[in-house]
């Protein structure tokens, strides 16, 4: 590898890795100086001149002329008899400068130089990718699906950098083929075995927040603030927003005219149902809004235990709980209160509270029934057995036993 080839090789790296000129010259000088030190122990008396643009590389060695019998260190001193062969006018004590060619260091040394150069460039590239994405944690990036593995996808960005999207960070209904483009948020960046690993996420609350920032100018400009987001990725999300300008309706601004703004977000999230809620410090009102679309009759708060007892009409209980308990779970996360829902019924003197049956029905079964809003015997009997099985985690056999116990209570009273 001669001077010109070394420069050309380095220039190729520059084009591929997008390294600036100053850094490139510094690395090249560094590796050459390292080769000199390895051979001579020091490079203090060597000058390295690099002009990458022209493809010039020159190495010059400076030595002091001494008497023939006084030469101790060949790399620092030169015998007078050898010096006058170069220039007859030289005298003892003067400094002589000679050009050194890389070939003089030997084939192995030059090969090691090339390998060291490649290694330094690779390290610099990795460090550049790490620093670039470390500063982009929490930002949305896009890329192309390059490889699909069992537990993760390999994504390539526009510059050919490798990004990882684990299956655990994908929306359950996400499906991608090689060559598809996708968007995700940068979740974390770390170094593993000196290699940067950029992990993306589509299930993070931050991803939803950044989508809102892109779609709603008022959020991007700071006129509307997202107070909190809770999600069940691909299923449902609740977003609490607040406006610092009384003239701006935060919910209306986020949804847009006829849903124009939120529709794009919903499509990106695979039709995830998004409830945008007006934030308030009035916790009773906030819980009421969080349980939307259910209409609340009354709420009783226990601020010490962070629990809320919510009372609703019978036809609103299932709306408050939601499919699989999803609505009430998200409302609890959003408000920070453990929410229990109860049927608000007119006083029925003949009805009996479920807690009265704890001697005959196990506690966990009663708790399961109360979780769906049934806190009295008649409220349970009003629901068909198959509906009770569907809405709770109880087995059909258990439900039938409970119904028999409750029915027998009223049968005895009728006798």
Confidence bin at 342 (pLDDT 50/70/90): confident
Q: In CATH, which superfamily holds the domain spanning 136-203? A: Nucleic acid-binding proteins (2.40.50.140)
List of residues 6+ apart from 180 with CB closer than 8 A: 144, 145
Q: Is 68 exposed, middle or buried (0-12, 13-18, 19+ CB in 10 A)?
A: exposed
Return the closest-CA partner of residue 335 out of 375, 275, 393, 256.
275
Asked if residue 207 has pLDDT above 90, the reply is yes
- How many other CB atoms are there within 10 angstroms of residue 384's CB atom? 11
Return the closest-CA partner of residue 306 out of 339, 342, 331, 284.
339
User: What average pLDDT does range 14-30 have in this prediction?
Assistant: 70
Residue range 237-272, pLDDT digits in tens: 999 999 988 889 999 999 999 899 999 999 999 999
Residue found by looking up tokens 């022209």 in the block = 54
Q: What pLDDT sits at residue 157?
A: 93
Which two structure tokens, joined as six digits, stand for 406?
């409750």
- Provide the CA 100 distance to its chain's centre, in angstroms: 52
Asked if residue 16 has pLDDT above 80, the reply is no
287 or 312: which carries more pLDDT confidence?
A: 287
User: What average pLDDT does range 272-281 have in this prediction?
Assistant: 94
Confidence bin at 1 (pLDDT 50/70/90): very low
Domain ranges of the chain: 3-123, 136-203, 354-414
d(CA 129, CA 187): 15
Q: What pLDDT sits at residue 11?
A: 55
**H helical segments located in 308-358:** 314-321, 326-335
Q: What pLDDT sits at residue 347?
A: 47
Residue found by looking up tokens 């490079």 in the block = 43
**H helical segments located in 199-323:** 205-215, 217-220, 250-255, 260-268, 283-290, 314-321
The whole-chain average pLDDT of the chain stands at: 86
Residue range 143-200, pLDDT digits in tens: 999 999 999 999 999 988 999 999 999 999 999 999 999 999 999 999 988 889 999 9
Percentage of the chain exceeding pLDDT 70: 92
Element (DSSP H or E) covering residue 4: helix 3-17
User: What average pLDDT does range 399-407 have in this prediction?
Assistant: 90
One-character DSSP codes across 115-138 = HHHHHHHHHHHHHHHHHHHHTTTT
Kindly state the greatest CA–CA separation across the chain.
Answer: 137
Question: Is the Cβ–Cβ distance between 184 and 202 less than 8 Å?
Answer: yes
Residue found by looking up tokens 């209306």 in the block = 252
- Provide the CA 98 distance to its chain's centre, in angstroms: 56
List of residues 6+ apart from 83 with CB closer than 8 A: 65, 90, 94, 96
SS3 228: strand
User: What average pLDDT does range 105-119 have in this prediction?
Assistant: 82
Cα angle, residue 117 at apex, residues 116 and 119 outer, rounded to 5°: 65
User: What average pLDDT does range 95-99 have in this prediction?
Assistant: 87
Return the closest-CA partner of residue 229 out of 285, 269, 274.
274
Residue range 37-87, pLDDT digits in tens: 888 888 888 888 877 666 677 888 898 988 888 887 777 888 888 888 888
Terminal C-alpha separation, the chain:
108
Element (DSSP H or E) covering residue 81: helix 80-86
User: What average pLDDT does range 308-336 have in this prediction?
Assistant: 89
d(CA 392, CA 325): 9
d(CA 254, CA 257): 9
The residue length of the chain stands at 415
- How many other CB atoms are there within 10 angstroms of residue 262's CB atom? 18
Pairing of strands 56-66, 77-79: parallel
Return the closest-CA partner of residue 144 out of 182, 190, 189, 186.
182
Cα angle, residue 184 at apex, residues 181 and 189 outer, rounded to 5°: 120
| Fold classification of 3-123 (topology level) | N Utilization Substance Protein A; Chain:P; domain 4 (3.30.1480)
């Amino acid at each position: 590898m001669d001077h010109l080839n070394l420069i050309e090789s380095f220039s190729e790296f520059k084009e591929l890795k997008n390294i600036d000129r100053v850094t490139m010259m510094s690395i090249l000088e560094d590796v050459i100086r390292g080769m000199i030190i390895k051979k001579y122990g020091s490079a203090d008396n060597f000058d390295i001149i690099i002009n990458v643009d022209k493809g010039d590389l020159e190495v010059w060695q400076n030595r002091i002329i001494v008497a023939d019998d006084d030469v101790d260190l060949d790399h620092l001193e030169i015998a007078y008899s050898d010096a006058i062969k170069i220039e007859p006018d030289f005298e003892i004590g003067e400094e002589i400068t000679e050009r050194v060619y890389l070939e003089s260091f030997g084939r192995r040394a030059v090969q090691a130089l090339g390998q060291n150069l490649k290694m330094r460039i690779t390290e610099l590239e990795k460090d550049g990718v790490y620093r670039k994405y470390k500063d982009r944690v929490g930002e949305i990036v896009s890329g192309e699906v390059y490889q699909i593995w069992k537990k993760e996808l390999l994504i390539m960005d526009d510059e050919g950098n490798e990004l990882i999207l684990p299956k655990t960070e994908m929306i359950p209904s996400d499906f991608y083929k090689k060559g598809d483009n996708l968007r995700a948020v940068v979740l974390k960046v770390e170094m593993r075995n000196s290699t940067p690993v950029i992990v993306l996420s589509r299930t993070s609350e931050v991803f939803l927040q950044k989508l809102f920032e892109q779609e709603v100018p008022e959020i991007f400009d700071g006129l509307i603030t997202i107070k909190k987001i809770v999600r069940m990725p691909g299923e449902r999300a609740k977003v609490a927003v607040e406006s610092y300008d009384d003239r701006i309706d935060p919910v209306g601004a986020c949804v847009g005219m006829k849903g124009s703004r939120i529709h794009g977000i919903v499509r990106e999230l695979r039709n995830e149902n998004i409830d945008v809620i007006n934030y308030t410090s009035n916790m009773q009102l906030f819980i009421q809004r969080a349980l939307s679309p259910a209409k609340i009759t009354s709420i009783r708060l226990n601020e010490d235990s962070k629990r809320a007892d919510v009372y609703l009409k019978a036809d609103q209980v299932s709306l408050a709980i939601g499919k699989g308990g999803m609505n009430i779970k998200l409302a609890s996360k959003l408000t920070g209160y453990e929410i229990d829902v109860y049927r608000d019924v007119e006083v029925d003197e003949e009805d009996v509270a479920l807690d009265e049956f704890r001697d005959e029905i196990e506690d966990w079964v009663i708790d399961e029934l109360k979780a769906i809003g049934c806190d009295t015997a008649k409220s349970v009997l009003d629901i068909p057995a198959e509906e009770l099985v569907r809405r709770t985690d109880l087995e059909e056999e258990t439900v039938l036993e409970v119904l028999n116990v409750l029915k027998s209570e009223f049968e005895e009273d009728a006798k």
